[in-house]
Amino acid sequence: MKKLLLALTVIVSYTVANNTGIITSGVVSKESPAIVELPIALVTNDDEYASRFNGVYLNATNGGELSVIVVNHRPYTLGDYLAYPYHDFQVSQYQYYAVSTEFEGDNILLSEILLVGNENNTTVTIIPTQTIMVPMDFQNATSESITIAAGSVYTFTIHRLQTFLFGIPELDMSGTSIVSDKPLTVLSGHECVYIPSTECCCDHIIEQIPPTITWGKNFLLTPFAERINGPFYKIIAAESQTTFTYTCAFNDSIFSNTSYLTLAGDFITLSSNASSYCFIHSDKPILVTKLGPGRDPVSSIGDPVVSLITPIEQYQNNTAILIPSFSLISNSYINIATRTIGPVYIDGQEAEDVTWENIYNSNSAIVGYGTQIFFNSSLNSTTYVISMQSTFGTMVYGFGHSHGYTFSATTYFNTLVQNPLQLEPWYGNMLGGVPIMVSGPTFGKPTDDIKLSLDNVEVVCSHLNAKKALCVTPFLNKTGKVNAELTVQSIKHKRTAIYYSIPSEDDVKVDVPNTATVFKVGNTLNILWEPTSLSGDANSKVDISMHEVSNTSNGTFVHNQLIVLATNIANSGHATVNISTTQLLSALSSVSAVNIFVKLRKDVQQPAVIDTVLNKIGLWSRKLHVSFNETLSAILYQKCLNWASNEPATIGPVLLASVTATAPCPPTVEQATPELSPGLIEDTNKKSIDTFHSGASRCFRQRTATNIGAGNQCCYRASGTLIVGSPNGGSVDKVAPTGSGLDYISNVYGHFTEDVLPYIYCCTGMKRNCTKYYERRTSDDGTSYVDPTPPGGGVGDPHIITLDLYKYTFNGKGEFILIETEDQSFALQGRMEESVETNGTTVRGTVFTAIVAKQEESDIVQFEIQDGVLVALVNGKLSDFSELKTQEFRNVVIYNSDSSNSTFSAYFINNRVYIKVQEMNGFIAALTVTVPSQYRGLTRGLMGNYNGNDTDDLIPRGLNQSLPLNSSLQTIHEDFGMTWIIKNARDSLFSYSFSKTLETYYDPSYTPTYEAVFTDPSLEQEAIRICGNDEFCKFDIAATGRVEIGEATFNGGQAIEQLVNLSKPIICVPPCAHGACVDTNVCACGEGYEGTTCNITVTRPCTENPCNDGSCQYHAGTYICTCLSGLTGEFCEETINTSPPGPETSGDVGLVVALAIGIGLPLIILILSVVIVVLVLVKCGILPSLAKREKSENTYDEPNNFNDDIYEDINDI
């Protein structure tokens, strides 16, 4: 009787059907695995036409996923296998090779192969390794049988759910080639066989064979528990001229041999000891099957079994495993093999008493680990969820009296040979319009629909040829990594990849040059772009249109075209356009964005390529904005008053306290480096700085918003001092325009409505009161930047600098804990290897070759030297930074700050830790680490106990007492440094290249040079010239003989020393009243103040007079009016209707009113949307109709008439 055992981790409905209809249906869950008994009529017979229609189709009807184990359960026989799901790899040919065994002396029981069709009209070609009998016409019920000799070819067509069984007694069918043009289910094994031929008794063995494109090259092998005789391993080659090495450990000895398989399909059977853990490494893909022996001669436990071994390349880190219930099997086991030791979790609970055995390669290096976990078989089949931090493979098995079963339970069904879906480029502007060349799958017919979905936004692509398609990205609502999924009409399987959505301001490819950053409506707007950046030929034409990004009622954002500025102009790289007030008013009554679209004529070389692409190829500029007529200053000023009345001034100190707690403004720009101020990042939008922070040379923003969503902004003069207060200083943002994913565009839009518009209302135009704005969006004066954490790290050979700035030399060899926190929220580890001379010889000294770090709930970031080059790995996977230099991962941002890839840095978002790694001459020459003050008293490791006191920085692991700081190098090495070596793989964060593990680097007996002495006088003189009085520098040159290591030590030490000096607190007594303390007792005053403590108010005559013919004085963004007799009001706009005022009322003073910073004319600016310029390719010149725009509840009412002015970059105030 055949049974299907179904298991999974959620509730799933299923049906089981054959070609006549549904056999049964039901529901399965983790708690209740289902057993489905199949009728005996479905048994396939090789010589009966009627049995060629016995395929079974199992379907999860509600979209869930199932694990299916098929069992041929008869008295004293258990043939079982894990069924693989239908999987279309989008290849033109599928290659399979059967695995079986011989049974000499029995001329009835077959070595056999069963094929099941997955799709109609599947062409199959068989090349058997033994002579077989097959029907001349497979689809003809009365067809005669013919003989196919070994090595001959038999081709036929099979349809969905059709079955074909063939085989031969006595001989082995292993290596039989099966090729199909569509996915095929291939089962192979033996009806009943002895393993080995001398051991009783026979049993049915069967396995489903995956296609060769999923076969691997590396296998970790674990033995069966409770067996006297060892298993056998049958290896089949996917390609000709395959060489593999088989290595086993037994009785503390390691045995290894190398085998050679001449042709694809060739195979070999290897034996193993009952307790040996083994490793196979092949230069080409192979299939490895494990054959369990018959019953033990004494206990009668066991029966022949077979199971595939999962290659390391197909491991995963969690799986649902079914332990089946069989009456004669009481003990079941799960064998686990993994590259990296770690806790094993069963249903979320850590398994106890897990003992790992080492697995070695032919060089006696540890390449993996294996274990056996015992399970008591229950009366009912039980599902367990097994998980580890690292990937692993599993095998489930059990033995009883004359019974046995086994199956491999953890494997990805990924293609390892065929190229995956590739996107070129794999990143682009979140606003869309990026042309992507898609390759990898076969695209079938030119008439097929090809669709690319990015974050569930679907676009139609254009078929170029069988290997390539052109897709154009849509507008995306988020930044960072998004899922890309490609579907092709004629191919059912979907192919996936990752696309990186870049913030719009980080992908500016259109320039709108303007010295004053002011544009005149009705006059010309100059636009520049690189013509070669656009797809098309010399005949391509450009359309220019204006777009906006606005929010919708459901909280998402849309991208609307407002007006067309120009059409069908040459793709020359420059254009001038006019923006008329009439055009803008007909589109909307608010500020909008400028977009440039590109259109190709119909006579281009490949019109079909572009005409079938529904989106538009384009490039984008920064944002542009429109202002109102200056006569409406009073309206804008009234909006300022309305905003100020609804936004109490008390919010300013609240916002300021929030941002200064995490990212305070340093008093000087030198202190705004990432090492000293990791919470800040430089604003690269120079036009924005020039427009809204006149006089500022550089500005910085807070990297990530605070817990209330706020962000800081710090602006500096060319002299490097902090600018404080109205009207040019940085200001706190109620909504920080930062973030990632779905937060980015929401934050940018919120920043506009909550911070930018109020600035416009209060700080621009002839009537302004910038004081009201800065009261509520306070400027950080630098006083919160007290006692910043100086960076620690390591340089050169290496010399460690603790977080309390104690310096010592430690030349360990292995992987070490540099920092770990008591609350386990952050860990930093370093790998040290022997330094190597340019001629390849090693010296008695070590250098850093890899650094790895992780915060709680973040991805693991690893920087390491590979082939002399510094690379970045995230969760063990190599990340490409060759083009996209800044990339965000889970709670960490990685930066590649130079073109040579010699410097990487990482900022961990949640705990604000910053690390920087610099490569020089093939090793990590400098490591810089900055941790926040919250970790005071919580760190341990080689970088010490961070508490401001270096006397306790040498605390050995597991102890509480520090070594004296004047201890010898040998004492520090042996009694402190080596206690922090990582001994157990489960404690390591590192990932490893193949054939390397923790043990590859672990060398606790390594003895470095403790006293470096020059033996070469010329080298000593060179060291003195380079190092001066730097003893660490001279030590490194003497110890290693490498001048470049000494230079790295010197330069790294100088850089850290400079940072240490900058981190010293700056104090002004008395404090600065209206400015920043930029040096000891030195104040840099804000506009409108002077004096040694900035306590003297300075006014000057107004350049423009808004006081209705009264006198005007200007002070720090404020106009102060003295009105003529009979007038009053802040700008003398009100007539006094009572008796003439006395002398005491003749000097009424108006409120401060803001004007646009850095703009010669008084402008009032109104903006409702993110504004962007873009170049885009248009299908057939047809532009979408103007979208109707609903006014957002979060925007402000705007006056209806515009004036002539547009200016840029208001988002970055």
- For 408-431, write each residue's pLDDT tens digit: 886 666 666 555 788 989 999 888
Tell me the three state secondary structure of residue 1196.
coil
Tens-digit pLDDT profile for residues 659-691: 999 899 999 999 998 888 989 999 988 877 887
Mean pLDDT confidence for 931-955:
94
Q: pLDDT-based confidence at 49, cuts 50/70/90?
A: confident
DSSP state of 755: I
Residue 652 corresponds to which amino acid?
A: G
Predicted TM-score (pTM) above 0.75: no
Percent over 70 (pLDDT), the chain: 83
Listed range (102-116, 282-296, 611-625, 630-644) with the worst mean pLDDT: 611-625
Three-state DSSP class for residue 277? strand
What is the DSSP annotation of 343-389? --EETTEEPSS---EEEE-TTS-EEEEEEEEEEE--SS-EEEEEEEE
DSSP string, 1012-1063: -----HHHHHHHHHHHTT-HHHHHHHHHH--HHHHHHHHHHHHHHHHHHHHT
Q: Is the pLDDT of residue 731 over 80?
A: yes
- 621, 511 Cβ separation under 8 angstroms: yes
User: What pLDDT was estimated at residue 532?
Assistant: 77
pLDDT in the model for residue 1075: 92
Phi and psi, residue 871, nearest 5°: -130, 165
Please say whether the beta carbons of 68 and 383 come within 8 A: no
Reading phi first (left if > 0) and then psi (alpha if -120 to 50, else beta), residue 1154 is in beta
- Which structure tokens are listed for 335? 């064998």
Q: Are 801 and 807 a contacting pair, CB within 8 Å? A: yes
Query: Which pLDDT does position 1205 carry in this prediction?
Result: 34
Residue 375 CA to residue 82 CA, distance in Å, equals 19
Domains of the chain plus CATH, in order, are 2-408 (no CATH), 422-504 (2.60.40.10), 513-626+1167-1192 (no CATH), 631-776 (no CATH), 792-1011 (3.40.1000.10)
How many CA atoms lie less than 13 Å away from 129 in the CB half-sphere?
A: 25
Model pLDDT for residues 137-178, shown as the tens digit of each residue: 999 988 999 999 999 999 999 999 999 999 998 899 999 999
Q: Which helix (H) or strand (E) holds 763?
A: helix 757-763
> Which tops the pLDDT comparison, 231 or 301?
231
Q: Quick count: other Cβ atoms within 10 Å of Cβ 915?
A: 28
Beta carbons of 305 and 405 less than 8 angstroms apart: yes
Kindly give, in sequence order, each residue whose CB lies less than 8 Å from that of residue 529, ignoring residues fewer than 6 positions away: 509, 510, 511, 573, 574, 596, 619, 1175
Q: H or E element: which one contains 916?
A: strand 913-920
User: Is it the case that residue 255 has pLDDT exceeding 80?
Assistant: yes
Band of residue 1152 on the pLDDT scale cut at 50, 70, 90: very low
- pLDDT bin (cut points 50, 70, 90) of residue 590 is very low
Which residue pairs, CB below 8 angstroms and at least 24 apart, start in 482-485? 482/454, 482/455, 483/453, 483/454, 483/455, 484/421, 484/423, 484/452, 484/453, 484/454, 485/452, 485/453
**Whole-number average pLDDT of the chain:** 81
Query: Which one of 174-178, 388-392, 528-532 scores highest in mean pLDDT?
Result: 174-178
The whole-number pLDDT of residue 173 equals 94
What's the pLDDT score for residue 148? Answer: 94
Band of the pLDDT at 265, cuts 50, 70, 90?
very high
Residue 1063: pLDDT band (50, 70, 90) is: confident
Return d(Cα 801, Cα 456) in angstroms, integer: 48
Model confidence pLDDT, tens digit, residues 999-1050:
889 999 998 888 888 888 899 899 999 998 888 898 888 888 888 888 888 8
pLDDT for 88: 77
Is the pLDDT at 1163 greater than 60, yes or no?
Answer: no
Block residue for tokens 């589109």? 587
Cα–Cα dist 190/335, whole Å: 25
Contact 163, 115 (CB under 8 A): yes
What are the tens digits of pLDDT across the range 736-777? 988 777 788 888 888 888 888 888 788 877 777 888 899 999
DSSP 460-527: EEEE-SSSEEEEE----S--EEEEEEEEETTEEEEEEEEEEEEPGGG---EE---SSSEEETTSEEEE
* Predicted pLDDT of residue 441: 73
